[in-house]
Structure 1
Amino acid sequence: MASLLTDPLFETCGRGPPPIKDYYHFFVTKSEIIWRWWKISPRMVYRHTKPGEVKESLSDFLEDIDLQREVRVVFGDHVLEFTMALCEGRYNYLDRLSDSLLLRIINFLELEDVDLLGQTSRKFQQLCGSEEFWEQAMRRHCCSISDEVVSLAKEIGWRTVFFTNKLHLQKLLSHEVLGLPAIKIVSEILK
């Protein structure tokens, strides 16, 4: 399974914490880590300082406490922990799956579990809150969906329609037939 992974396994870059203005680039492949830095300083002493680079094997990085400390200071504990896991061969395969495949998997979960999954990472938060997911959930939980409900969902969102009870939904649909904006009515209902 690990052979399916593509390089880089992880890559990030950014500035150091204040007052440091140096720029850092951290790159993890299947065989090594690469740590690059560019000294950025208003002082004349550092004007002609060249960029630096350290390349280490994954096993060497696990033993290099100084480089680990630098990664922690610049990018935080979460990046260091993730990198250590990669160096030990513990890969997160879920993050590497396509969004369409993840949506298919998420659709098998209960709604409470979808909410919890959405709290685990930014990617899952976006997927679990996406219109595509809520449209699939609506189609899965309802026997049939009328064209009026589809047009209403396009206007106010599938998630809102999913959690709106049937009485309020009928009220929204009747207002839409009369030409009244459904968004105003939804905001009144949700108050």
Structure 2
Amino acid sequence: IIFRWWKISLRSEHRSSKPGETKETHEDFLENSHLQIQIALIFGARILDYVFNMCEGKFDFLERLSDDLLLYIISYLDLEDIARLSQTSRRFAKLCTSDILWEQIVQSSCDTITSDMRALAEDIGWRQMFFTNKLQLQRQLRKRKQMHDSLGENQLF
């Protein structure tokens, strides 16, 4: 573990101070409570836990994956599994309710998506669109089309 710091100050006596650095082996870091406290104060408990896990050889490979790749993987899960995954962390909750994921799910479950359907999904959200039954969707699409048509007529006069 390499921990570097810089002193930033307007005082003249600190202007010439050089950056500090501490290098610790993983084993030494696990025993150095002073350095652990410094990391927790500066970066927070989450980063301290992450560093602890790294030093103990426990890697969270999912944490390292990009959101795009995770969304791609999640899109292949069953709905029950998506619901369970969304309860595991804030990151997964955000991903499991994202419009990007639900757009992928709707596209994979529908033969075609019309421009009217796409516009409605942008209004109500792709997740809502997925869970709305076909009759309700048809009603909402008709209503949206009527509103759009009536706005167009009003603009003509």
Aligned to 2:111: 144
Could you tell me the percent identity over the aligned residues?
A: 47
AA matched with 1:61: F
RMSD: 2.8
Number of residue-to-residue matches in the alignment: 148
Contact 2:5 2:21 in 1 (8 A): yes
From the CA coordinates, give the structure whose radius of gyration is larger.
Answer: 2
- Would you say the 8 A contact 2:75–2:101 is kept in 1? yes
CA distance in 2, matches of 1:77, 1:155: 39
TM-score, normalised by the number of residues in structure 1: 0.63
The structure with more helix, counted as a fraction of residues:
2
TM-score, normalised to structure 2, is 0.74
Aligned residue among 20, 23, 48 for 1:80:
48
Hey, which of these two has a bigger chunk of strand by percent? 1
Unaligned runs of 5+ in 2: 150-157
Q: Answer yes or no: is 1:180 the counterpart of 2:130.
A: no
Whichever residue aligns with residue 57 of structure 2, its letter is G
> 2:30 corresponds to which residue?
62
- Note if 1:107 corresponds to 2:75: yes
* Structure 1 gap segments, 5+ residues each: 1-32, 182-191
CA contact (8 A) 2:7 2:19 kept: yes
Relative contact order, higher structure (CA 8 A, sep 6+): 2
SS of residue matched to 1:180: helix
SS at match of 1:54: strand
